[in-house]
Amino acid sequence: MKINDSERIANLEDNYNRPIFSLRISITNRCNINCLYCHHDGMMPSDDEMTPDEIYQILKIAKSIGIKKIRFSGGEPLIRKDIVEIIKKTALLDFKDISITTNGILLEKYAEELFKAGLNRINISFDTLDPETYKTITSKNYLNEAKKGILKAVEVGFDPVKINMVVMKGINDTEVMDMFEFSKNHGIILQLIELIKSDNCNDNSFTDKHHFDLDTLEEDLGKIATKVKTRQFMQDRKKYFVDNGEIEIVRPMDNTKFCENCTRLRITPEGKIKPCLLRNDNLVDIITHIRNGYSEDKIKNLFLKGINNREPYYVNNE
CA distance 36 to 95: 34
Residue 188 is assigned to a structural domain of this protein:
yes
Residue 115 is assigned to a structural domain of this protein:
yes
Question: What is the pLDDT confidence band of residue 278, given thresholds at 50, 70 and 90?
Answer: confident
Report the DSSP beta bridge partners of residue 194. Answer: 167
pLDDT attached to residue 232: 64
pLDDT attached to residue 260: 82
- 273 has a pLDDT exceeding 90: yes
More confident: 111 or 236: 111
Residue 173 is assigned to a structural domain of this protein:
yes
Residue 31's CATH number: 3.20.20.70
pLDDT attached to residue 84: 98
Q: For residue 261, what are the domain limits? A: 5-308
pLDDT attached to residue 316: 65
pLDDT attached to residue 7: 46
pLDDT attached to residue 1: 33
Task: State the CB neighbour count (10 A cutoff) for residue 115.
Answer: 18
pLDDT attached to residue 257: 73
Residue 315 is assigned to a structural domain of this protein:
no
- 101 has a pLDDT exceeding 90: yes
Pairing of strands 69-73, 97-102: parallel
Distance of CA 25 to the CA centre of its chain: 9
Measured torsion, CA atoms of residues 127, 275, 55, 101, in degrees rounded to the nearest 10: -10
The number of domains in the chain is 1
Residue 314 is assigned to a structural domain of this protein:
no
Cis previous bond, 75, omega within 30: yes
pLDDT attached to residue 198: 56
In this prediction, what percent of the chain has a pLDDT beyond 90?
76
78-83: long-range contacts, CB 8 A cutoff, minimum separation 24: 78/102, 78/105, 78/106, 78/107, 78/109, 78/110, 79/28, 79/30, 79/31, 79/32, 79/106, 80/27, 80/28, 80/49, 82/52, 83/27, 83/110, 83/114
Residue 130 is assigned to a structural domain of this protein:
yes
* Residue 241 burial (10 A CB sphere; 0-12, 13-18, 19+): middle
Task: State the CB neighbour count (10 A cutoff) for residue 48.
Answer: 12
Residue 135 is assigned to a structural domain of this protein:
yes
CA distance 299 to 210: 43
Question: Are the beta carbons of 276 and 311 closer than 8 angstroms?
Answer: yes
CA distance 307 to 94: 22
Query: How high does pLDDT run on average in the chain?
Result: 90
pLDDT (average), residues 217-237: 85
pLDDT (average), residues 5-11: 51
Within 13 Å, how many C-alpha atoms sit on residue 49's CB side? Answer: 19
Residue 74 is assigned to a structural domain of this protein:
yes
The winner for highest mean pLDDT among 154-158, 199-203, 254-258 is 154-158
- 5 has a pLDDT exceeding 70: no
